[in-house]
Amino acid sequence: MYTLSFEENPKPTDMEILSKGIMSYAATQRSLPPIETFAYYLRDEQDNIIGGCSGAIFYGCVYIDQLWLSEPLRGQGCGTKLMQAALAYGKEKGCTFATVNTMDWEALGFYQKLGFEVEPARTGFMKDSIFYFLRKDFA
């Protein structure tokens, strides 16, 4: 017997149970290594996070999940440095490509300048927003 429950902001420890289950299944089905998460941060003199990016290494891909910079840092090359660090880390880990997602009003042009190409685009979001899936193959 089981019950179905809903949590709007689930605890990280509970989410980790799901991740471990997926990784265990991947290991039994394809002998794939566990998913590894990472983050790079920019910190000010007081050690406050003022920017950063995070993602995961999984099955030969480096996935950039989040990239954020505080307003004063934007347009100064900080985002490029963060992305370059994440991409280098992916290559170091043996990844053959990188992926990132963005909305049309976020950073599509920024990622394209870094060599990412649009795979599919998904429409139907609120206020006519478009969600882009991007990919960059490593040479």
Please give the order of strands across the beta sheet that includes 131-137: 36-43, 49-58, 61-69, 97-103, 131-137, 117-122
Q: Answer whether 25's CB lies under 8 Å from 34's CB.
A: no
Alpha carbons 57 and 134: distance in angstroms, whole number: 16
Alpha carbons 1 and 128: distance in angstroms, whole number: 43
Each residue's pLDDT tens digit, 22-41:
889 988 998 988 899 999 99
Q: Which sequence spans correspond to the domains of the chain?
A: 35-137
Residues 118-132: b if buried by 16+ CB within 10 A, e if exposed: eeeeeeeeeeeeeeb
Alpha carbons 103 and 86: distance in angstroms, whole number: 20
Check residue 135 and give its pLDDT: 98
Structure-model confidence comparison of residues 135 and 32, the more confident one: 135
Q: Among residues of the chain, what percentage have pLDDT more than 70?
A: 100
On whether the 35-137 domain is CATH 3.40.50.1440, my answer is: no
